[in-house]
Every structure is written in C-alpha cells, then in structure tokens.
Amino acid sequence: MFDISLYLKDKKAEVENVLFKQLPSAPDCPELLSEAIAHAVKSGGKRLRPILCLAAAEATGGRWKDALLPACAVEILHTYTLVHDDLPCMDNDLLRRGVPTVHARYGEALAVLTGDALLTLAFEILTQTPLEGTITTRLVSELCKASGATGVIGGQVKDILLAGKPSPEVIHYVFEHKTADLFRAALRMGSIAAEASDEAVESLSAYGGHLGFAFQIIDDILDADQATEDEKPELSCLAIMSLTDARIWASEHTRMATKALENLVGDTTPLKAMADMMLERII
Amino acid sequence: MFDISLYLKDKKAEVENVLFKQLPSAPDCPELLSEAIAHAVKSGGKRLRPILCLAAAEATGGRWKDALLPACAVEILHTYTLVHDDLPCMDNDLLRRGVPTVHARYGEALAVLTGDALLTLAFEILTQTPLEGTITTRLVSELCKASGATGVIGGQVKDILLAGKPSPEVIHYVFEHKTADLFRAALRMGSIAAEASDEAVESLSAYGGHLGFAFQIIDDILDADQATEDEKPELSCLAIMSLTDARIWASEHTRMATKALENLVGDTTPLKAMADMMLERII
C-alpha cells in the first residue's frame, strides 16, 4: 500500500540533497550573502512545489530524477518570493517557520539582494540540466511566465494594492497568479523535463492550477483560526464567502485536480494522494 | 569617415524600438506595475551596454540584428539593478537622470516588485530569440553568472558592506563585479548570439572587462567633481589614489580594451571609437 508520508519524506530528502549543493559560497560570493542565502533556503519548508515537480515527471511515465534540477529551480524561485514578501515594505514579517526572516537577521538591503540572488539562481540552475537546449529554453520560458509581471509578481502587486478591498475578481486574480501560477509551473516543468506529450503537460497543468487554488483556500481557512486582532488585514477568501462555502470551494478544486489526472500514462498515485492529503488539513 | 555619435544615436534607436515592445502591459499585468516598469525602462539612459552587445556581434563578423534581443535582455537586467540600488534601504536616491526614481513615484513595495519583474523579464526575452536552444541556454547561463551572487549582486553586497572601508582589494572586487561583469556579459552575449568562435568571445570579454573598469574609474572622477558635503560616502577609487593616478588607471584600461580587439575578424571600428570616447570624458 502507498504511504504518502513516506513518499513526501523521501522526496524532500532527495530535493534538499541537490538543492543545498546549488547554493553559492564564499569566496565566490561575499560570505554574508552566502549565509543569508543559505538561511533563506534551509529554514524548513515542506518542499511541496519541488515534490510536485518530481511527481509530475513520474505521472507521465518519466523518471523523477530527470526533474530534480527543475524542481530545485522552482523551490529557489518560491524562496525568493518569501524573502521579498517578508520585507518591511511588504508584509513586514519578522518570523517565518519560527526563525527570523532574512531582513530581520541580515537587514533590509541584504534581504532585497538575497531575493535577487535567489531569483537569478533559479534560472542558472535550469541551465545546468543535461537536457536538450530546446527543452531547457522551454523550462526557462515556463518559469519566467509563471513568476513574472503577468504571473506571481502581478498577483503580489494586486494583493498589496487591494488587500483592503476584497472582491471575487480580486480574490480570483490573486489566487490565480500569486499561488496557482507557480504550482502550475512546477507540474508543467516536471512533465516537460520528462519529455511528456503536450496533452500530458496540459493535464498536469490543470491539476497544478486546481491544487494551487485548493492550497490557498485552505491556507486562508487555517489562517482564520490563528488570526489575532492586531494583525493588519490580509486578503482572504473568507472576506467574500462563509467558512462552509470556502470548504466546499476547496474540495471542489481538489476533486477537479484529481480528475485532471485521469488520462495520464504514468503513476499518478503520489499526485492523487497529495490532493487528498491537502483537503484533510481542513476536515 | 566613421561617426561614433551617429552610430550611437542610430543603435540606441534600434535598441529602444525592440526594448519598448518587450514590456508587459495591462490587462496581462496590473496597470500600476506596467506603468512602473515603463517608467524605469523609458527614463533615458545612453543604452551603452546593449549597444556594446550589438557592436560585439559586428566585431566578430556577424550581424548586429542577431544580437538585438540579448542586447535588450542586458539593458533590462541593468535597469533592474538601478531600481533596486535606488531603494531607501540601499542608496535612497529620489532622482535619477532628473526624474523621480521608481520608489519615489510608486512606493517602496512596488519598486521592489518592479525590479523583480524586470529581472525575470530579462531572462524571458532571451527565450524569445530565434537562436538554437543550446545558444539560448548559453546566453541565459552567461547572464545568470554575470548578474548573480558571484557577479553584480556580490559586487553590490560588498559595496554596501564596505563603502566606508575602502581598500585596493575592495575597490577591485566592487569594480570587477558590480560594473565590469555586466559589461563583459554584454560583449560575450553579443558575440555568442553571432555564433562567434570561443577565441573571439574571450577577446571581446577582455575588451568588456577593461571598458567596464575604465567606465567605473571615470564615473568616480566625474562624481568627485559634483560631490556635495552632505552626501553619504560612496565607494570611490579616489579614496585610495590621486586624481592623476585614477586618470592613468582609466587610460591604461582603455588601452588594454582596444588591444583586446586586435585579432577579431569583423568591424571593430565602433568598439574602438567607444573606448576612445569614454576616455575623452575626463581629458
């Protein structure tokens, strides 16, 4: 019988093993910068997006090992967004996963530059795959589109500008771009690295988009339980719907995510289990 | 007879024609983000690095048009560094080229995100060249290495950390990485896009490194003329040498830049003229 906990633990170790080797060190770069980069990357995290990237390769009948570097690129990209989102001019968070954020420990200037270095590193990692040049170019293109002005950054801009004015349109835009775009990219990149068919890439892309929505809705539900009065308002789907409706919405996206896996030729057990597990967080 | 002013004017127009078409616009991304991006990119500038990229393609016997997208990528990368360097936590500059900086006009959060979007866009532009996949991958790799933790960002980190403690080693590190690395990348990328030989790429790389040093030395000399008492200290080579020695140092780098062009098979007239012109700024 398939054990999702064991799968996640195993794949997290495989990802971190490669991930930590990609980080720059002194004297190639300033000591303090390499420290700040390592602090950002090694401060925990479930490594959900890179594991999805590996599972996508398997779901198309490919080898998960072929997706290891793209998986690391996605995780590094995700880490940069956290470092910049935590900045005083954004969310001004001093702690993340129980440890000081990069700007809290190393100062604001170094935090901006650490995020910049991670963003650049994500693309550098992609150039190191032994894949064909056209596939590498496609991976770079996918990550750029998902994370740029029309993707994650666009989502973050709307989040900042409109956190105080939630509407169904705003919630949809922010969930779509700030969260779902990178989930989608993780799945697309894993399947592209495994040289999957265009149909398979699109199926996994649909899975990723729905899983991203489910993830964000559930995040809002869990945040609502922990919210304290003095926190500044954050954009939440609970501003426009009841807790019950949010739960139904999340389960609907999870169902659609699983449905998108139907025609794939590889092993989709891990992806199905991850969708189920995500929903169990709120039930 | 070759007219360098006309060449620069002509090539600047060619670069900007393509450059401005690469910028994202609403509704693909939030309106305010597209405005801030356009503000950063369209606020003047000599377009020196992209023109060097085009001239590098010509110097190897290739066509400058083949280097247009790489040239735009280099300029967009350079623009992101300016946006982040101007931030309150870095140089806190409110004006650049006589117009408000991005954070002065759009706020700090949007300035961080505008820089992030530009950095991402630089790589996206490279994926759009009609060049072979292996060449595109090489261009992405070159730009990552030049601009990442071991390149421009490393240089900026040292600049911030050690501006008050100038030494020959610090000056050399900062000039090498904060300035010369991107000049070098512009030349390398232009020649790689033109499918030049490895020898030609290295010759142009040497030209770019020396020109970058000359540029930074001359910048420090010109800045010294304009400095006012109340400005915070900036790292300058004049902290460790006399004005006369700085002039000699700049002219030495210019001479070595020109010498590096000797064995190239294409037209090196524009690159020679640009080296001469740079030196004339201080004589």
Residue from A32, A82, A92, A113 whose CB has the most chain B CBs within 10 Å, to mutate: A113
**Average pLDDT across chain B, whole number:** 95
Residue A57 has which token pair?
């390769």
Percent of chain B with pLDDT over 90: 91
Question: Does A145 reach chain B within 8 Å, measured CB to CB?
Answer: yes
- B17 vs B31: CA distance, rounded Å: 22
- A159-166: long-range contacts, CB 8 A cutoff, minimum separation 24: A159/A235, A160/A90, A160/B109, A160/B110, A160/B113, A161/B30, A161/B32, A162/A235, A163/A233, A163/A234, A163/A235, A164/A233, A166/A235, A166/A236, A166/A239, A166/A240
pLDDT band at B164 (very low <50, low <70, confident <90, very high): confident
Predicted TM-score (pTM) of the model is 0.97
Total number of domains in chain B: 1
Residue A247 has which token pair?
């739960």
Reply yes or no on whether the pLDDT at B234 is more than 90: no
The angle that helices B48-59 and B198-226 make with each other, rounded to 10 degrees, is 150
- Mean pLDDT for A168-175 is 96
Residue B148 has which token pair?
């990442």
pLDDT band at B281 (very low <50, low <70, confident <90, very high): confident
- Mean pLDDT for B73-82 is 98
Among A160-164, A213-217, A253-257, B63-67, name the one with the lowest average pLDDT.
A160-164
- Mean pLDDT for B93-119 is 97
CA nearest to B159, candidates B169, B144, B149, B174: B174
- Mean pLDDT for A129-145 is 97
∠ CA B75-B81-B84 to the nearest 5 degrees?
A: 140
Are A102 and A40 contacting, i.e. CB atoms less than 8 angstroms apart?
Answer: yes
DSSP-H helix ranges across chain B: 4-19, 31-42, 48-59, 68-85, 102-106, 108-126, 133-147, 152-162, 168-174, 181-193, 198-226, 243-259, 269-280
pLDDT score, position A171:
96
Residue B140 has which token pair?
């992405």
- A149 vs A157: CA distance, rounded Å: 9
Taking residue B119's Cβ as centre, other Cβ atoms within 10 Å add up to 28
- Mean pLDDT for A240-262 is 97
∠ CA B177-B182-B183 to the nearest 5 degrees?
A: 110
pLDDT band at A232 (very low <50, low <70, confident <90, very high): low
CA nearest to B134, candidates A69, A121, A134, A70: A134
Least CB–CB distance from B108: residue in A28, A89, A124: A89
Reply yes or no on whether the pLDDT at B163 is more than 90: no
Among A14-23, A187-196, B234-243, B273-282, name the one with the lowest average pLDDT.
B273-282
ipTM above 0.90, yes or no: yes
CA nearest to A126, candidates A112, A116, A141: A141
Among A180-184, A261-265, B202-206, B233-237, name the one with the lowest average pLDDT.
B233-237
- B273 vs B279: CA distance, rounded Å: 10
Reply yes or no on whether the pLDDT at B22 is more than 60: yes
Query: Domain range for residue A96?
Result: 4-280
- B259 vs B64: CA distance, rounded Å: 22
Q: Which residues of B touch A132 (CB under 8 A)?
A: 133
pLDDT band at B233 (very low <50, low <70, confident <90, very high): low
Question: Does B84 reach chain A within 8 Å, measured CB to CB?
Answer: yes
Residues across chain B: 283
Number of Cβ pairs < 8 A linking chain A and chain B: 164
Are the beta carbons of A116 and B113 separated by less than 8 Å? no
Residue B38 has which token pair?
């356009």
CA nearest to B26, candidates B18, B12, B36, B13: B36
- A154 vs B32: CA distance, rounded Å: 10
The 10s digit of each residue's pLDDT in A264-274 is 999 999 999 99
Reply yes or no on whether the pLDDT at A231 is more than 80: no
- Mean pLDDT for A38-64 is 96
* Helix %, strand %, coil % of chain A (to 5): 70, 0, 25
The 10s digit of each residue's pLDDT in A104-133 is 999 999 999 999 999 999 999 999 999 999
Residue type, A80: Y
> Judging by DSSP bridges, how do beta strands A99-100 and A95-96 pair with one another?
antiparallel
Question: Does A120 reach chain B within 8 Å, measured CB to CB?
Answer: yes
Reply yes or no on whether the pLDDT at B229 is more than 70: no
Reply yes or no on whether the pLDDT at B231 is more than 70: no
- Mean pLDDT for B163-167 is 90
The 10s digit of each residue's pLDDT in B173-200 is 999 999 999 999 999 999 999 999 999 9
Q: Compute CA distances A268 → A61, A67, A184, B19, whole Å.
A: 9, 16, 16, 43
The CATH number assigned to the domain holding B157 equals 1.10.600.10
Residue from B124, B165, B172, B181 whose CB has the most chain A CBs within 10 Å, to mutate: B124
pLDDT score, position B226:
75
Residue B95 β-bridge partners = B100
- Mean pLDDT for A29-38 is 98
**Average pLDDT across chain A, whole number:** 95
Reply yes or no on whether the pLDDT at B139 is more than 60: yes
DSSP string, A109-173: HHHHHHHHHHHHHHHHHHTTSSS-HHHHHHHHHHHHHHHSTTTHHHHHHHHHHHTTS--HHHHHH
In chain B, residues 18-37 whose CB comes closer than 8 Å to chain A: 24, 28-30, 32-34, 37
- Mean pLDDT for B49-72 is 98
Q: Which residues of A touch B160 (CB under 8 A)?
A: 109-110, 113
The angle that helices A48-59 and A68-85 make with each other, rounded to 10 degrees, is 150
pLDDT score, position A233:
65
Q: Which residues of A touch B150 (CB under 8 A)?
A: 24, 28-29
The 10s digit of each residue's pLDDT in A186-228 is 999 999 999 999 999 999 999 999 999 999 999 999 988 776 6
- A14 vs A41: CA distance, rounded Å: 15
